[in-house]
Structure formats: structure tokens, C-alpha cells
Amino acid sequence: MKNVALYILAGLLGGLYALSFAPVPSGMLQVSCLTGLLLLLSVVDKPVRAVWAFTVMWFCAGLYWLHFSMHDVGGLPIWMSVFAIVLLSLYLSSFYVLAVYMWRRFFVQRQLSSDLLAFPALWTAAELARGYLFGGFPWLASGYAHIDNPILRGWFAIFGVYGVGFLAVVFAGGMAFVARQLFKKQRDTKALMLTAVSMLVMLGLGWAARGLSWGEKSGAPISVSIVQPNVSQTIKFDEAEIIKNTHRFIDQSIKSNAQLTVFPETALPYPWTMVPEPMLEPLQAALKDRVVLMGGVGVDAAKGEFYNSGMWLSGQGDIFNPPRYDKIHLLPFGEMVPWGFNWFIKMMNIPLGGYGYGVSRQPFELKTNGQTTRVGVNICYENEFGEELIKAWAQGDAQAPNIWVNMTNLGWFGSVNQSTAQQQHLYMSRARALEMARPVIVATNTGLSAYIDAAGTVLNQLPADEASQSTVQVQGMTGLTPYVGWGNAPVLGFISFLFGLSVFLRHRQGMDI
């Protein structure tokens, strides 16, 4: 009964861990949950079971909103929707279970090297693995809970979200080690002092890092109009609704006075070649020195492929065959169907899959008022892959984006009152702004649309679940952050070093720190 209670406690800690991401990011809650998990692992008979309980509850509680897309929109039975979420959670949990198994199997617990070196290294390795393998699913990576943490947020520009997550686990390891020592009759004073000094150094460096500035202003601010249509997914693909929205969006584009007007992902959910030319002609005449970035479906007639695209509509270009950004990292089950799962997609009444892969991250150039502002675009799920977005710097900072635009449709996942997906996505956009020192425009169908400055602060947010439009002044930026320069390489190298150091300390006779 004792162990059962402890496994239930582990599950409750996992549920609280999910709450550290949204509706309000809480780094301290997350560190406390991890500390509790480490202490539990010291006393349960089957630590791997405790980790299963913790991580499965973490992902089920953090990703429950997938139910709305599968059941409410797709029409799957409730039991099948729930089963799919549990199955996904089990898959994601397996990375952490393997990490903790290796930790317990190869490293001596209750030692400082185990808590502050081995456990953080292995936990972060699990995060990286699930973010990379089989296309990656980095949603709810631990670092996202710390975008408002004054001690850790400064590290986003240096080590990215995985580096921030690693430091959070180090803090948890230090707290768990101290807690264990306090309950011992014979305390290791030397190890306690070393832990205290290490934590103080980390606190000091983190506080200093938050004051660093990595970017410089580029030209004058540009006016950007963010359009949030609030089209329900249940009628989005209805023919009459499509016709109405096409008229509505083109009319909004013509009337907009902003230098850049941004619509969300697949605002027009059909091939761009099917847009009636008589509707586009007045738009091209009205644009002149303005641009509209419209979510739609790009077409490559030669290859016979369709793309989830952002159309760059300007008065100077060919509006009937416009330049476009084609989404590169497609969403599994949404835009591409993993092998063997066609049967699952066919059970849902949703037009999914079949998109081609884009290849270029070259930013668009907005030329207005005598200046050029480079606009980088990513679509929906791509927002979660900072290591991929920084490829836009392949030709150097002079050719890299001055601002980023994320075009998204989160209408699949319920309203803001039902779902935390919208907040989670917004906080990940804030992390991208911090990593790249660039402002980020988030244009979503139902919310949360926002303007985030280069310091990761939300300066303007549109009301959720309402049709809304807001014009903001966006300051473009230049400059390289360390993360843009080296990506996740330092984190990979660092955790490899710590793992090796942990092995060395484990095998060194007489070393018990």
C-alpha cells in the first residue's frame, strides 16, 4: 500500500508539472515537482514505475486538448480519442523512463554527482531525443516553463530551450540532494557546501544573463496588421463558408493601411490557383507599397504537389503566382501520415495529409518607406523547432530575418476556455523571440494572436475566440545570439561531458560526492 500511495503521488506531481507550462508558466512549480520526483525515486521499490506515473500524467494533462481535434472535429469515439492520447503519452514517457532506468542502473544514488550531473544529463538527453527522433515532438519541453523565470530566461539566447531545461533540472537535483542530507544523521558537510556554492554561482550567472542584449534595431518600425478571423473548424471547409471568407479576407486586405497584413495558416483552405482572378485584381491595384501575407495552399503543377503555404502578395509582384513560403516541417497525422496509420486518419472526417515538404527558409523582403525589412515565416508546428528556424541565418545575419511571423490555426484544439494549447503555443513563440532576439508576430485563427518583442514580452494580444484585427508597430532587429550561432551543439556536448564525468566519478574508488 505504501508503494501504491507513492506511485499515486508521483502521478499527482506529473499533473502539477503539466500545470507549470500553462495557463501561466511557473518555473518554480516545475522545479519543485522535479525535486519531489527525485526524492520519491529514493524511496520507492520500483523507481521506473514512479517515472511512468509521473511522465504519463504530465503528458496526458498537458496534451488533453488533442481530444477536441480527434473527437469534436474528427468525430472519433471518445474512447478512441482518449486511447490515442494515452498511447502518445506512453510513447513520450518512454524516453524518460529509459533515462531514469540508466540513471538507477549505472549511477549511485544519494550522491552529489548523481543528482547534479548524471540525472540532469540523462533527463535532458531524453528531452532532446523526443524532440528529434521520428520527426520530433518537443511540445512541453521543460524549458518553456521558465520564460518568466528571472534566473533562467536570460539563458534562452545562449543555450536555447533545452539548455534552460537542463539548468532547471540541475536546480531540482541540488534541492533534492540538500533535502536528503538534511534528513541524515551524518551529513556530508563538504558536499553540502559544494552544492550551496554551485547553486549560488548559477543564480548569479543567471541574474547577469537576463541583462544581456543581443540585438540592435534595424531601421524604423513597420506597421503590421494581425488578422484573427475566428473561423470554426466545423465549418472551415464548407463551400459557402469558403466563398464568404474569401470575399471577407480580400476585402480586409484591400482596406488595411498597414505595411504588412498577416492572416493565419490556411485562412483560404484551397489551392491558390483556384482563387477567382476578378477578386485578386482589385487587391493588387490596392496594395502598391503594402504587402499581405495570406495563409493558403500552394501548388506546384509540375510536381503535382500541394503545400501548406504563406503567400507573399504585393503590388510589385505577380499576385496570381506569388512568392510563397512552403512549410518544411510537417505535422505528423495532420499534414503527413506516418507509415501504417492511414486507417486511423480515414476514421476522422478531416481533410488531412498529402502536403509536400518545403525546402527554403529565405525571408521575404518588405520594401517600404525607403528601407528593407526581412520577414521570416514559419507555420504552426514549426514554431516548436528553434534549432530549425536558426537555419535562416545560413547566409549570415545580413540575409537573416529582422522579424518573424508565425502563421497558425489552433482552432482544431478547442477554445481558450477549454484548452491550454493556445497558451502553450504562445509561450513557445516567446521562447523563440528570446532565442533569436527577434520580434515575433503570431497570427492564429482563433487565438492567441499576439505581437512579441525581441525580449520575449507580449506587447499586444488579441482577444481569444473572437474575430479581431489589430495594427502594431514592430521594430525589426539585427544581431546574432549565441544560440543562433551554435544551436543545440553546446547542450549536446555538455550533457555528454557530464555523463562521462559521472561515469568517472562512479568508478573512482573512495569518491563519494
Please check whether residues 473 and 494 belong to one and the same domain. no
pLDDT in tens, 154-170: 999 999 999 999 999 99
Q: Residue 294 pairs with which residues in a beta bridge? A: 311
In a domain, 512, yes or no: no
Radius of gyration of the chain (CA): 24
In whole angstroms, give the CA distance from residue 355 to residue 281.
28
Q: According to the model, what pLDDT value does residue 511 have?
A: 43
Collect the ranges in the chain with pLDDT lower than 70. Answer: 1-2, 108-113, 333-353, 502, 505-513
The residues, any chain, with a CB within 8 Å of residue 511's CB and separated by 6 or more, are 505
In a domain, 513, yes or no: no
- List the CATH number of the domain containing 285: 3.60.110.10
The SS3 of residue 220 is coil
Residue with the three cell numbers 523547432: 385
Please check whether residues 326 and 210 belong to one and the same domain. no
Please check whether residues 85 and 131 belong to one and the same domain. yes
Please check whether residues 284 and 166 belong to one and the same domain. no
Please check whether residues 89 and 169 belong to one and the same domain. yes
pLDDT in tens, 275-296: 888 889 899 889 988 999 999 9
Please check whether residues 145 and 293 belong to one and the same domain. no
Query: What Cα–Cα distance (Å) separates residue 433 from each residue in 25, 250, 362, 441, 486?
Result: 16, 30, 18, 10, 16
Please check whether residues 171 and 52 belong to one and the same domain. yes
In a domain, 368, yes or no: yes
Q: According to the model, what pLDDT value does residue 13 have?
A: 97
In a domain, 344, yes or no: yes
In a domain, 169, yes or no: yes
Cell of 281: 485584381
Cell of 204: 548569479
The residue among 416, 472, 474, 477 whose CA lies nearest residue 445 is 416
Report the relative pairing of strands 458-461 and 450-452 from DSSP bridges: antiparallel
Please check whether residues 66 and 44 belong to one and the same domain. yes
In whole angstroms, give the CA distance from residue 464 to residue 438.
24
- Give the catalytic positions in this structure: 265, 327, 380
In a domain, 65, yes or no: yes
The residue among 482, 436, 477 whose CA lies nearest residue 456 is 436
Please check whether residues 198 and 227 belong to one and the same domain. no
Please check whether residues 329 and 260 belong to one and the same domain. yes
In a domain, 401, yes or no: yes
In whole angstroms, give the CA distance from residue 92 to residue 130.
7
Please check whether residues 289 and 412 belong to one and the same domain. yes
- Find the domain containing 413 and state its range: 216-480
Please check whether residues 267 and 169 belong to one and the same domain. no
Query: How many structural domains comprise the chain?
Result: 2
The residues, any chain, with a CB within 8 Å of residue 309's CB and separated by 6 or more, are 272, 295, 296, 297, 298, 324, 325, 326, 327, 358, 379
pTM above 0.85, yes or no: yes
